[in-house]
Amino acid sequence: MSLLEVRNLRVTFGGTAAVRGISLKVEKGETHCLVGESGCGKSVTSLAIMGLLARGGRRDAERLAFAGTDIQNHSEREMSRLRGDRMAMIFQEPMTSLNPAYTVGSQMTEVLRRHRGTPRAQAVDRAAELLGRVGITAPGLRLGQYPHQLSGGLRQRVMIAMALMCDPELLIADEPTTALDVTVQAQILRLLAGIQKELGLGILLITHDLGVVARIADRVSVMYAGEVVESASAENLFADPQHPYTRGLLSCIPVPGKVKRDEPLGSIPGVVPRIPPGYVGCAFRDRCPHAHAECDGAIPRRAAGPDHEVLCTLPAGWFGRQAA
Amino acid sequence: MSAVPAIEVRGLRRVFRVRQGLFAPPRHVVAVDDVSFAVPAGSVLGVVGESGCGKSTLARMILGLLPPSAGEVLVDGQRLADMDRRARARLIQPVFQDPFSSLNPRRRVRDIVAMPLVAQGSISSADIARRVEEALARVGLSAEQGTRFPSQLSGGQRQRVAIARALVLRPRIVVCDEPTSALDVSVQAQILNLLAELRRELGLTYLFISHNLAVVEHVASEVAVMYLGRIVETNESEALFAEPRHPYTRALLASVLTPEPGLGVPDVGLGDTMPDPANVPAGCRFHPRCPLAFERCPVEVPRTTPNGTGFVECHLAEPA
């Protein structure tokens, strides 16, 4: 039984299809990265899983199960009992998700007091312990401070510690390090990886940064225009990318020592298209150098190797064969 | 190539007075502290550092948008302070990070691009129209796109508009402050390729500010690493990336996450003390975070030690 199982999830906002039938699983102790560019639907996916879609958002799935239980028909009350307790979430910008009017301590302890009814003194001990665990020196001092008194890196550590207050089984992290300096990003990611190993949690990490993905993912799903276009283990995805979009993205990244200065980087021409309802065919075809007539029809999801799926009309091993 | 550097900065310093509360005495934040360097014409100087290190303040002083507290900026051999705004605009132009806030949302693209020409006050409207069209074509925008509003364009297209506006006066120098940080990677690659092409074709000099070292390595011929208002290491790009001397440069390089699976997340070794520009540590300003700090570091300010074509400021790099 997977910790999180999403099968054929769709999200629409009015006439716009934001998520168009995605499936993914997160196992216990695994980091699954959902990667894609802005507007591909990755954040909406995470909000849909947590039942936090904005008004007007409609969610529909064949299955949306947390720890074996389908949560699609959970009431708002049942969901809020799960959120922050067994499934927790970290957002990109900690300043907007922390309440500026309350101290770090009162926000952290609230989670535990509300979900578990833990007495205040005990909750404070737990908060201090977790702040220490996420590498914050002088946790006692920090508990009494307000969010604006902390640096961006510290705030994100507080968010992580707060997410861990109730020992969640699943952690959904939406761009947790995007607003941070590279040096702090490395520290926060190391921290997440360490905590995961220690506590065995499942992490669904949403990011646009393939560098982050390569370093911490076990599994990767690449999203484009509301669909998962390629899904594989991190090792296979980077060693043998099979979707033209994945390959395009990888060629865009300057890698020190690999791309010579002044040599042009690879790039993907054009922009992400608007997807009207009832869209048929591959959403990437207008930007794809390998597009052909078949791309206008229904696109098969085919196996490209063990545990490696691609949403593309090109035959399996196309790129491998081309290179040889 | 002329021997006069495109940009020369001498002893540049900028202090901000910051009030923390209504009755609190003002504190002084030294955002840029005695910085000197020269950028040869036709080269690209990459400036890297964490947020708050003073790199944007430096850029704004070089653009003449912010008067220095001390020191001077020379652009193409002339003192920036002696130039009038129009002359300055013909020589040096900016491209900023966020094309969503740097373009006037109520004006059409072609009017935005025409603005620097109009501000010159002496160019005929026929000339303006021709040069705007030329500038748009150069950055890959059609005349039809020139009639649109910024909100009708994608992030990458807006950044092209910002670049067209910077180029329309045919400046010699462009200051790019995080020009691709707000963009997706596929768009970032398009913009970086465009900037490289323009530099080659028009013989431009760039001051390229970024927190992304991989990007800087790709575009810069020289790199300056800033930490809390000072340049702590500078060198030719190849040399700096091959052989970083300052522990801070090494930490920055180590924290670049390249898309190579199996390497894991590196231990940068900087601890969790964050730099505070309002409270610069004594001695070497990097010592509280430095994994190699020893007894001299908190007491003695490191000397500037020549290294390659640049220098490094670290006690460990000083000759014995």
Q: What is the DSSP letter of A83?
A: B
The DSSP result for B260-309, as a single string, is -TTS--------SPPP-TTSPPSSSTTTTT-TT--TTTTTSPPP-EEETT
Q: The domain spanning residue B26 has which CATH number?
A: 3.40.50.300
Class of domain A4-86+168-323 (CATH, top level): alpha beta
A262: phi > 0 → left, psi -120 to 50 → alpha, else beta; which? left
Domain presence at residue B230? yes
Residue B68 has a pLDDT of 96
Yes or no, beta carbons of B254 and A264 under 8 Å apart:
no
| A168-189 confidence digits (pLDDT tens) | 999 999 998 887 888 888 988 9
Please say whether the beta carbons of B168 and B202 come within 8 A.
no
Of B32, B39, B37, B38, the residue nearest B70 (C-alpha):
B32
Q: Out of A78-82, B16-20, B70-74, B195-199, which region has the weakest mean confidence (pLDDT)?
A: B16-20
Count Cβ atoms within 10 A of the Cβ of residue B157 and give its class: 0-12 exposed, 13-18 middle, 19 or more buried: buried
Q: What average pLDDT does range B279-303 have in this prediction?
A: 94
Residue A95 has a pLDDT of 73
Yes or no, beta carbons of A186 and B189 under 8 Å apart:
no
With 80 as the cut, is the pLDDT of residue B303 above it? yes
Phi, psi of B39 (to 5 degrees): -110, 115
With contacts defined as CB-CB under 8 Å, which chain B residues touch A185?
255, 257
The DSSP result for A279-307, as a single string, is --S-TTGGG-TT--GGGGSPPPEEEEETT
Helices (H), B168-296: 185-202, 213-219, 237-242, 247-254
Please say whether the beta carbons of B104 and B150 come within 8 A.
yes
With contacts defined as CB-CB under 8 Å, which chain B residues touch A217?
261
Q: How many CB atoms lie within 10 A of CB A93?
A: 15
| B214 touching A (Cβ < 8 Å) | yes
Nearest to A266 among B189, B196, B241 (CB): B189
Nearest to A215 among B186, B219, B263 (CB): B263
What is the distance between the alpha carbons of residues B83 and B91, in angstroms, rounded to a whole number?
A: 10
Regarding beta strands A87-90 and A170-174, do their DSSP bridges make them parallel or antiparallel, or are they unpaired? Answer: parallel
Residue of chain B nearest A236, judged by CA positions: B261
What is the distance between the alpha carbons of residues A168 and A157, in angstroms, rounded to a whole number?
A: 16
Yes or no, beta carbons of A187 and B263 under 8 Å apart:
no
Amino acid code (one letter) for A232: A
Smallest CA–CA distance, residue B18 to chain A, in Å, is: 15
Nearest to B265 among A215, A239, A269 (CB): A215
What is the distance between the alpha carbons of residues B237 and A261, in angstroms, rounded to a whole number?
A: 10
Please say whether the beta carbons of A87 and A166 come within 8 A.
no
Both tokens assigned to A78:
């049942």
Q: Which residue has the tokens 């921290």?
A: A191
With contacts defined as CB-CB under 8 Å, which chain A residues touch B265?
186, 189-190, 193, 215-216
Nearest to B185 among A135, A208, A235 (CB): A208
Yes or no, beta carbons of B264 and A238 under 8 Å apart:
no
Residue A269 has a pLDDT of 84
Phi, psi of B310 (to 5 degrees): -125, -140
CA B54 and chain centroid, separation: 10
Residue A323 has a pLDDT of 47
Residue B84 has a pLDDT of 92
Domain presence at residue B169? yes
| B211-262 confidence digits (pLDDT tens) | 889 999 999 999 999 999 999 999 999 999 999 999 999 999 999 998 988 8
| B239 touching A (Cβ < 8 Å) | no
What is the distance between the alpha carbons of residues A255 and A216, in angstroms, rounded to a whole number?
A: 18
Q: How many residues does chain A have?
A: 324
Domain presence at residue B104? yes
Yes or no, beta carbons of A255 and B258 under 8 Å apart:
yes
With contacts defined as CB-CB under 8 Å, which chain B residues touch A141?
none
Q: What is the dihedral of CA B294, B298, B301, B305, to 10 degrees?
A: 20
Per-residue pLDDT of chain A (324 residues; tens, 9 = 90+): 899 999 999 999 887 889 999 999 999 999 999 999 888 899 999 999 999 998 899 999 999 999 999 999 999 999 999 998 999 999 887 777 899 999 999 999 999 999 999 999 999 999 999 998 887 878 888 999 999 888 888 888 899 999 999 999 999 999 988 878 888 889 889 988 988 988 899 999 999 999 999 999 999 999 999 999 999 999 999 999 999 999 999 999 988 777 777 788 988 887 778 788 788 999 999 999 999 999 999 999 999 888 899 999 998 778 875 443
Count of domains for chain B: 1
Residues of chain B with pLDDT > 70, as a percent, come to 99
Smallest CA–CA distance, residue A181 to chain B, in Å, is: 6
Q: What is the DSSP letter of A277?
A: T
> Could you tell me the pLDDT band of residue B2, with boundaries at 50, 70 and 90?
low
Residue B1 has a pLDDT of 47
Residue A137 has a pLDDT of 79
Domain presence at residue B1? no
B86 three-class SS: helix
Q: pTM here? A: 0.89
Cβ partners under 8 Å of residue A313, min gap 6: A282, A292, A294, A295, A299, A300
Please say whether the beta carbons of A136 and A154 come within 8 A.
yes
Of A285, A292, A308, the residue nearest A235 (C-alpha):
A308
In whole angstroms, how large is the CA radius of gyration of chain A? 21
Smallest CA–CA distance, residue A193 to chain B, in Å, is: 8
Q: What share of chain A is helix, strand, coil (3-state, %, to 5)?
A: 35, 25, 40
Q: Which domain holds residue B194?
A: 7-317
Amino acid code (one letter) for B70: A
Domain presence at residue B247? yes
Both tokens assigned to A298:
């229904």
With 90 as the cut, is the pLDDT of residue B269 above it? no
What is the distance between the alpha carbons of residues B264 and A235, in angstroms, rounded to a whole number?
A: 12
Yes or no, beta carbons of A214 and B190 under 8 Å apart:
no
With contacts defined as CB-CB under 8 Å, which chain A residues touch B55?
none
Instruction: Give me the sign of the Cα torsion angle B183, A246, A62, A46.
Output: negative
Task: Give the CA angle between residues B190, B192, B195 to the nearest 5°.
Answer: 110
| B120-132 confidence digits (pLDDT tens) | 999 999 999 999 9
Which B positions 18-57 lie with beta carbon below 8 A of chain A?
A: 50-51
Residue of chain B nearest A250, judged by CA positions: B259
Cβ partners under 8 Å of residue B225, min gap 6: B48, B49, B231, B232, B233, B234, B240, B246, B248, B249, B252
Q: Which residue has the tokens 């495109």?
A: B6
Yes or no, beta carbons of A250 and B259 under 8 Å apart:
yes
Residue of chain A nearest B198, judged by CA positions: A262
Task: Give the CA angle between residues B45, B46, B51 to the nearest 5°.
Answer: 140
Residue of chain B nearest A287, judged by CA positions: B186
ipTM of the prediction? 0.85
Residue A321 has a pLDDT of 57
Please say whether the beta carbons of A235 and A315 come within 8 A.
no
Domain presence at residue B97? yes
| B174-197 confidence digits (pLDDT tens) | 999 999 888 888 889 999 999 999
How many inter-chain contacts (A to B, CB under 8 Å) are there? 145
Yes or no, beta carbons of A181 and B200 under 8 Å apart:
no
In the beta sheet, which residues pair with residue A115? none
A174: phi > 0 → left, psi -120 to 50 → alpha, else beta; which? beta
Domain ranges in chain A? 4-86+168-323, 100-165
Residue of chain A nearest B185, judged by CA positions: A252
Q: Which residue has the tokens 């190539």?
A: B1
Yes or no, beta carbons of A256 and B215 under 8 Å apart:
no
